[in-house]
Structure 1
Amino acid sequence: MHKIIILLFLVPFVQLKAQDGTYFVKKSTQKITLDGVLDEADWQQAQVLTNFMQQFPTDSLEAESQTEIRITYDDQYIYFSGKMYAQENDRTYVTPSLRRDFRGAANDALVFTLDTFLDNTNAFQFGVNPFGVQREGLVANGGAGGDDLDLSWDNKWQVEAKQYEGYWIAEGAIPFKSLRYKKDASQWNFKFYRVDSETGERSVSARTPQNFRIFSLAFVNRMVFEKPVKKPSTNVVLIPYVASGINRDFDDAEQTSAHSNLAIGGDAKIGIGPSLNLDLTINPDFSQVEVDQQVTNLDRFEIFFPERRQFFLENADLFSSFGHPLTRPFFSRRIGVAIDTSTGQNVQNKIHFGARLSGKLDNNWRIGILNMQAAKEEDINLPGTNYTVAAVQRKIFGRSNIGAIFVNRQVVEDSTGEFSIDKNNYSRVLGIDYNLASMDGKWSGKAFYHQEFDQDGGSGNFSESTYINYDSKTWTFNVAQVMVGDTYDTDVGYTPRNNFFRINPEVGRNFFANSSWVNLHSVRADAEYFWREGKKTDHRYSVNYNVQLQNTGEFGISLNQRYTYLFEAFDPTRTDGVELSADNGFTYNSFEFFYSSDFRRKIAYSFNGYAGEYFNGDRYNISSEINVRFQPYGALSLTMNYNKIELPDPYNDADLLLIGPRFDFTMTKKLFFTTFVQYNSQIENVNINARLQWRFKPVSDIFLVYTDNYGTQDQYGETSFIKKNRALVFKITYWLNL
C-alpha cells in the first residue's frame, strides 16, 4: 500500500497538457440583441469556432452535424452564439419537456462550459435546447464522474433559440456578476459540446476521448480576451420568500384539526470581489424541494440521498468531496434534517440562520466556511445545535490538489433550554485529503486521513484511504483501500458502517466495434473484501459484460458471488420478521442484468434484474422505468421495483413492491406541474407530492405544493389506507439584484 501512496505523488510529474486550441474573443462595439438572429456586426467580425469532433459514436472523426460558435463580450456580459446544423431540413428536434435543467441523451442541446480559473477542475455550465429551454450547473472534480455535474444550481442569465430549415441558432448572455473569476483575467478555459438526437451524435469543440465524460475538464479550449475582463460591480442578490401552509398530523391524537402557519425568511448572495461569494440565510424554508425518490432497502446500512437544497449547492464539492463514498466527514443533509428516534423517520429541523463564504482566493487557493444554527426540537428531544465547517484547498501539479477540512457539531443549549455551550455534547472531525488528477485525465487517485474528536474519546476515532485509478481508451485499472476505526462516528457526515478495513481492486477492457449497431463491448472484473478485527466479514466477486449500442441504448450482464458475516442479528427482508442469528456467515451467488432502450424515442424504457441466492434463501428482482414523451409539453413516467424473497421457515418470505408514477407537464417555459406518487410496500406507505411552479420572473417563483402520506396494512387479506399526514403550502420567492 505504501507503493500506491508513492505512485500517487509521482504521477503528476508525467502529466500531459491537454489544451485543444485557442479562441480570440473580440470586445463588442454594440448592443447584442438576443433573438436567434445573428445580424449584429460583432457576430460577423467574431472568430468562428467550428470543426467539432465526435465524442460518440467515435472520437476520431469530425462531427457529421457541424456547429459554428462565436463569442464576444462587453463590460457586463459574455455572449455566445451557436449555429447548429442538422442533416435533414425538415427534422424534428427532441426535448422531453419545456422544464429548465434538462439532461440526458434524449435532448438536442448546446452546452457552454467556462473554467474561469484555468484549473481544469471546477467550471460553470450553461446549456440551451432548440426550444430555448435553459439549464445551468456546476462541474466539480474535473468532471471525472456523472456525479460531478450538478444541475441543481440556479443563477440568472438569458438565452434565446430559433429554429430554421436545416439548422437552429442560440444566442446567450451570461452576466459577469453570475461568475467567479480572477480580477483582470485575460484568459479562460472553455468548452462547447452538442447533443444531436437525430443521429445520436455527441460532438465537442475540444476533442475528448470516448472513455471520458463529455464534460471532462481535462480536454478544453482556451479563450483569450482582447482586453482583460474587468471586475464587475459588487453583486448583491436578495431572495426573500413568504410561505404559508396548513398541515395535519393524523398520527398525533392531540391534533384534532389542521394547523396553519406563516413563514418569512430568505437568502442573500453577496459577491466578495470577483471570486468569493457570501451566502446568508434566515429562517430558510425548503418546502418546494422535490421529494426524494424512495428505494427498497435490503441493505444493513443507511441509504444515501443527494442534497437538493439550493443554499448548499454552490461550491458544494469543496465541502462534500472529502473522504470516500463509504465515509464522508461532512454531509449537508445532516443540517436541517433530524431523525425521530421513536419512529425512525426523517423530520425537518428548523434552521434559524446560516452563513457560508466560499470560492477562490486566486488560481491556486479555494476556501469554504459554513456556520448554521438549528433549532431545538422538543418532540424528539433534540437540543439546539450549531454546525461549523471550514475547508481549504490548494492546487498542485496542474489539476491535483491538497485540502483540509474541519467539522464541528456543538450543542448550544443547557438542560433548561438557555443558550449555553454544552462542553460534554460535541463532535469534531479534522482531516486532510490529497486528490490526484493528471492533465490528460488518465490517472486519478486519492489519499486521506481523518480524525474525530468527541466527548467519549477512544483510539478508533479515525478513517483513512488510498486510491489509484488508470483509465485509457482500452484499459481501466483501479485499486482502493479504506479503513474506519471502531469508534469513528461522524455526526455531521455519512459513515454507514465503522470498524472495517476494505480493499477493492478492479480491471476492465474496452473493445470498440466496427458494427452498424454495436459501438462498444467492455469486460470488467472486480473484487471487494471487508475485514473486521482480523476476520473477513464480506466479499464480492463480480464479472461484468456490457454493450453500448450505436442507437445510445445499452445492456449488460454480470455474475456475482457474495459472502456476508453477520455480527448482529438481521432480517434480510427488513419487514420485522424473524432475524438470522448473529455470528453466522452466508455465501450466495447471483446473475444480474440490465437493458436501456434508445431514449430519443417518444416511448423509452429500461429494466434490470437479479436472480439467485440470497443469504439462506433465494431472491428474484425486476425493476423498470418507462417514459412516454408528449413533446414538448411533458412526460409520463412509471418506475417499478419488485423483489420476491423466499427464505426457509421460520424466516419471513416477502413480496416487496415499490411503484412510482410521475406526471410532468410543462405548459410553457414558465409554468410547470409535477405529480409524483410513490407506493412502498416495505415501509407500508403511500406518498403523494404535487407541485405547481410559475416562474413569473427569472429565478423568481410561485409554488403551490401538496403532500399526502398514507399508511397501508393488511386487514383480513385486504389493503387499507390510513391517513398519516397531509400538507398544503403556498410559497413565493423573488430574486432581487441590488
Structure 2
Amino acid sequence: MKNFYLLFLIIFSCLPAFAQKKNEAYQLQLRKTTLPVEVDGLMNEEAWQNTDVAKDFFMVLPMDTSRAKTRTEVRMTYDDKNLYLIALCYHALPGPYYVESLRRDFSFGKNDNFLLFMDPFDDQTNGFSFGANAAGAQWDGTMHSGSAVDLNWDNKWVSKVTNDAEKWVFEMAIPFTTIRYKKDITRWGINFSRLDLKTTEKSSWTPIPRQFPTASLAYTGNLVWDQPPPSTGANISVIPYVLGGGVKNYEQNKPVDYLRKAGADVKIGITSALNLDLTINPDFSQVDVDRQVTNLERFELFFPERRQFFLENADLFANFGYANIRPFFSRRIGLNVPIRAGARLSGKINKDWRIGLMDMQTASVDETGLPAQNFAIMSLQRRVFARSNIGLLFVNKESLNYHPKQDTAAPNAYTRFNRNVGLEYNLASANNVWTGKAFVLKSFTPDKSGQDLVQAAHLQYKSRKWDILLQEEYVGKNFTAEVGYVPRNNYYKINPVASRFFFPKSGRILSHGPKLSTIQYFDDKFKSTDYLNTLAYAFAFRTQSTFAVTLVDEYVKLLQPFDPTNTGRETLARGTRHHWKAWRTEYFSKPQSVFTYAFSTRSGSYYADGSLTNVAGEVGYRFQPYVKLLANASYNDIRLPEPWGNTNFWLVGSQLDLTLTNKIFFSSFFQYNEQTNNINLNTRFQWRYQPASDLFIVYTDNYLPAPFSVRNRALVLKLTYWWNR
C-alpha cells in the first residue's frame, strides 16, 4: 500500500503546469457608460451602441467541431452601481421556445436558456453564474471547483426577457454589491453559454471540448475593463424576518405549539471580495423539505444543505474530502435544536488566498439532555500552479458546561468535544484534462486514540474518447467526524473506473460506449469485505434522450447486523457473506418535449440467496411556462427466506409547480412511502415582492396510512426583507 501512495504522489507532482489559459485570445472590451440603462429586455438605449459584441459562438454539443448554428450576440457595459448585459438569442428553426416553468434556478437541460459564467479573480476556479430561460425565469449561483454551480445561493439582481418572431432577448443588471471581486483587477474570466432545444445545440462564446461543461472556468475568455471596477463602498445588508405559525402533534395528542419568532441575517462587505455574515435566531422553515426515498442501504443517507446562511463560499467548508468522507457537513448544525447565533467570514484575501471562518452556537435541549454546543470551523486555501490549490481545514465541536457521568458502565450520550484537522491538495490542469485530489485527516475525541486517521486520493483523465479514474481511500477504525458525514469506518477502498466513447458520423445515436468499474473494500488486515463490479453500456441520442444498461456483480460481508428490507424486522447476522448478480436499465426521454418520462429497472438476486426486483418511473407534463406536473413511482419486490418472506412496498409521489410570474411561485408535492408507513403533503407559496425579499406560506401534513389518521400538521408564515446600502 505504501508503494501505491508513493505512485499517487509522483503522478500528482508531475502533472501541474504553468500553462497559459486556453482561450486567452478571446477578449471582450468593457467600457463604462454615463447614459441610463433600463432593464426592460429592449436594446433601445444609446448606451448599448458603444459596446463590443461577443458573437460567432462555437458549438459544444452535439459536436465541438464547428461554429454554432444558433446565432447569439452579447453586449456588456457598466456604470457606478451595476454591471449590465444584454443577449440576443436568435431562433435557428421556427417554432416556440421550450421551458419548464418560471421557477427560479431551473434545470439546465430542460430549458432554452442563456447563462453567464464570471470569474472575477481570473483564477479559473471560483466565480458566479447568472442567466435566464426563454420565458424569464432567473438562474443564479456561486461557482467553485472550476465548473460546479451551487444554485442554492440567492442574491439581489434584476432581469427581463422579451420575445419576438426571430429571437428572445435577455437583459440584466447585477449590482456590484451582489458579487465579490478584487477592485483593482481589470481582467475577469468570462464566458457565455446558450442552450437551444429545438436544434439540440449547446453553444459557447469560446471553444470548449464537448466532454466539459460550458461552465468550465478553464475555458473562459477575458472581460477587459477600461478602468478598474468601482468600489462598493459601505456594502451592508440587513435581512430581518418575522415568523408565525403552529405545529400540532396528533400522534402524541399534544396541544398546538404556536410559533412566534423573529431574527435577522446581516451581510457586511469587509472588502469587495471578503464578506462577513452574521445571523441571530435564524429560521429555515421556507426551505424545501427533503424528499423521501426508498432506503435499502446499510449506511446513513446523505441529503444536501439548502439553508441560505451556509451557502456563500460553501465549497471552502463543504468540499473538503469526498462525498462519503466529509469532515464538515453543515446540516449537523442545528439538527433538531435551535441555533442561537452565528458568524461567518469568507471570501478572497487576494488572487491566491481564500479564507473561511465560521462560529455557530446552538441551544441546549432539556428533554434529551443535549448540552448547548459551539461549532468553530476554519478553512484556508492557497492557489498553486495553473489552477490547483492546497487547503487546510479545522473543525471543532464543543459541548458547553457539560459534565458527563463518571460511571463507565453507562455510555455517555454526548461527547465533550470532537475535532478534525485536515490537509488537502486539489489538482486541476490548465486544460482541465487532468484532475485529482489527495488529502489526510485526523480526528480528536475523548477516550479514542489511535486508528483515527483518514487518507484518500484520486486521479482522473478526461478526453473526448476516454474517461479514466483511479481512487483509493483509508478510514481508520476510530476516526470520528461528529460535524461531518462519514457513514463508514475501518476500511481500505480501491476504485478504478474506465469509460470509452464512440461517435457515429450519422444516425440517431450521437455517442455510445462502455463503462467498467470496480469498488473493492478491505478491512485493516486487507481481507475483502465488499466489492461491487459493474459493466455498463450507455447510449446518448441526438434528441438528447439517453439509455443505459448495467450488469452488476456484488459481494458483501456484513460488518453489523442488517435487516435487508430496512423495515425494522429480523436481521442477518454480523459476519455472514452474501453474493449476488443483477442487471439494471435506465432511460430518460428527450427534454424538449412538453411530455417527458423516465424509467429504471433492477432485477436479480439479493441477500440470503433471495431476489430483489425494482421498477421505477417518472412522467411529467408542462403547460409552459406556467404549470409543471410530475408524477413518480417506485415498486420493490423483495423475496427472502423466512422469517422475512416476501416484502413489497411502494414509494409514490406527485409534484405541482405553478409559476404565475417569475416572482410568484406555488409548489405542492405529495408522497406515500410504504416502507416507512408515512404519507406526506407539503405546499409552499412564495411571493418575491422585491429582489431577494419574500413572503412564504408553508403547510405540511404527515399521515398514518392505516388506519388513515393525521400524525402531525404545521402551518408557517414568514416574511423576509432585504435592506442594503
Q: Pick the TM interval, shorter chain.
A: over 0.9
The equivalent residue for 2:213 is: 213
Kept in 1, the 8 Å contact 2:285–2:716? The answer is: yes
Which residue number corresponds to residue 408 of structure 2? none
User: Are 1:545 and 2:537 counterparts?
Assistant: yes
User: Displacement, 1:517?
Assistant: 1.5
CA displacement 1:287-345 (0-9 Å, x = unmatched)? 110011111110100000000110100000010011111211000000011xxxxxxxx
| 1:62-461 map, 5 Å | 62-88=67-93, 91-143=95-147, 148-253=148-253, 255=254, 257-337=255-335, 348-414=336-402, 425-461=416-452
CA contact (8 A) 2:569 2:644 kept: yes
2:28 to 23, 31, 39: 23
Identify unmatched segments of 5+ residues in structure 1.
Answer: 338-347, 417-421, 713-718
Q: What is the DSSP-based 3-state SS (H/G/I as helix, E as strand, rest coil) of the residue aligned with 2:483?
A: coil
Give distance in 2, aligned partners of 1:153 and 1:525: 36
Amino acid in structure 2 at the alignment position of 1:159: S
Contact 1:320 1:331 in 2 (8 A): yes
In structure 2, the partner of 1:3 is 7
Rounded to whole Å, the distance in 2 between the matches of 1:437 and 1:652 is 51
Q: Which range is displaced more, 68-77 or 441-450? A: 68-77
2-structure distance, mates of 1:383, 1:476: 48
One-letter amino acid of the structure 1 residue matched with residue 589 of structure 2:
S
For the 8 Å contact 1:689–1:708, the answer to whether it is kept is yes
Asked whether 1:473 is paired with 2:478, we answer no
Distance 1:36 1:325 in 2: 41
How many Å separate the matches in 2 of 1:242 and 1:267? 12
Q: Distance in 1 between matches of 2:548 and 2:723?
A: 49
- Classify the secondary structure of the residue corresponding to 2:49: helix
> Hey, what's the Cα distance between the residues in 2 that align with 1:59 and 1:380?
59
**Cα separation, 2, equivalents of 1:282 and 1:140:** 27
Offset, 1:436? 0.2
Shift of 1:131: 2.2
Q: Match of 1:4, SS?
A: helix
Aligned partners of 2:18 and 2:430 also within 8 Å: no
Establish whether residue 589 from structure 1 lines up as the match of residue 577 from structure 2: no
Deviation, 1:652, is 4.0
Partner residue, 1:557: 549
Q: CA deviation at 1:250?
A: 1.9
Distance 1:473 1:113 in 2: 22
Structure 2 residue identity aligned to 1:321 = N
CA distance in 2, matches of 1:654, 1:311: 42
Match of 1:490 in 2: 481
Secondary structure of 1:63's counterpart equals coil
Check the 8 A contact 1:685/1:709 in 2, yes or no.
yes
1:567 Cα offset (Å): 2.1
Distance 1:244 1:165 in 2: 47
Q: Secondary structure in 1 aligned to 2:367?
A: helix
Aligned with residue 45 of structure 2, among 40, 43, 46: 40
Matched residue count? 711
In the aligned structure 2, how far is the partner of 1:423 from the partner of 1:286? 25
AA aligned opposite 1:83:
L
Once the two structures are overlaid, the 10-residue window that deviates more, 148-157 or 575-584, is 575-584
- For the 8 Å contact 1:578–1:652, the answer to whether it is kept is no
**TM-fit CA distance, 1:214:** 2.2
Return the letter of the residue paired with 1:499.
N
SS class of match (2:43): coil
Provide the C-alpha distance between the structure 2 equivalents of 1:15 and 1:435, rounded to a whole number of angstroms: 17
The alpha-carbon deviation at position 653 of structure 1 amounts to: 2.5
Structure 1 position 423, deviation (Å): 12
Partners in 2 of 1:423 and 1:249 — Cα distance?
27
User: What amino acid does structure 2 have at the position aligned with 1:437?
Assistant: A
Q: Which residue identity is paired with 2:122?
A: L
Q: 2:689 aligns with which of 681, 684, 696?
A: 696
What is the Cα deviation at residue 142 of structure 1?
0.4
2:140 and 2:441 map into 1 onto residues whose CA distance is: 33
Partner Cα distance (2:514, 2:368) in 1: 50
Report the equivalent of 1:676. Answer: 669
| Matches for 1:713-728 after TM superposition, within 5 Å | 719-728=706-715
SS of 1:319 mapped into structure 2: helix
1: distance between equivalents of 2:10 and 2:368? 49
2:619 equivalent to 1:614: no
Separation in structure 2 between the aligned mates of residue 439 and residue 54 of structure 1, nearest angstrom: 21
Distance 2:176 2:140 in 1: 15
CA contact (8 A) 2:635 2:649 kept: yes
Could you say what secondary structure the match of 1:244 adopts? strand
Give the alignment partner of residue 532 of structure 1, picking from 523, 537, 545: 523
Secondary structure, in 3 states, of the residue corresponding to 1:368?
Answer: strand
Counterpart CA distance in 1 for 2:633 and 2:19 is 45
**In 1: Cα distance, 2:379 partner to 2:126 partner:** 16
Q: Distance in 2 between matches of 1:590 and 1:634?
A: 39
The answer for the alignment partner of 1:731 in structure 2 is 718
After TM superposition, give the deviation of residue 39 of structure 1 in Å.
2.0
Question: CA-atom RMSD, angstroms?
Answer: 1.6
- In structure 2, give the amino acid aligned to 1:87: A
Secondary structure, aligned partner of 2:83: strand
Tell me the residue number matched to 1:516: 507
What residue identity is the alignment partner of 2:573?
S
Q: Are residues 567 and 32 of structure 1, via their aligned partners in 2, closer, same or farther at CA, if it must alter by over 3 Å? A: same
| Separation in structure 1 between the aligned mates of residue 474 and residue 97 of structure 2, nearest angstrom | 50
Q: Structure 1 counterpart of 2:459, which letter?
A: I
Shift of residue 130 of structure 1? Answer: 2.4
Would the aligned equivalents of 1:579 and 1:651 in 2 still touch at CA under 8 Å?
no
Secondary structure, aligned partner of 1:227: coil
| Structure 1 residue 499: Cα displacement | 0.5
The alpha carbon displacement at 1:474 in A equals 0.8
1:685 aligns with 2:678: yes
State whether residues 105 and 552 of structure 1, in contact with CA within 8 Å, keep that contact through their aligned partners in structure 2: no
% identical aligned pairs? 39
Q: Secondary structure at the match of 1:7?
A: helix
TM-score normalized by the length of structure 1: 0.94
Distance 2:644 2:167 in 1: 63
Q: Is the 8 A contact 1:193 1:214 kept in 2?
A: yes
Q: Distance in 2 between matches of 1:281 and 1:406?
A: 21
Of residues 675-684 and 399-408 in structure 1, the stretch that sits farther from structure 2 once superposed is 675-684
CA displacement at 1:16 relative to structure 2 = 5.9
Q: For residues 92 and 389 of structure 2, what CA distance do their matches in structure 1 show?
A: 44
How much does 1:14 deviate?
7.1
Q: 1:516 and 1:129 mapped to 2: Cα distance? A: 30
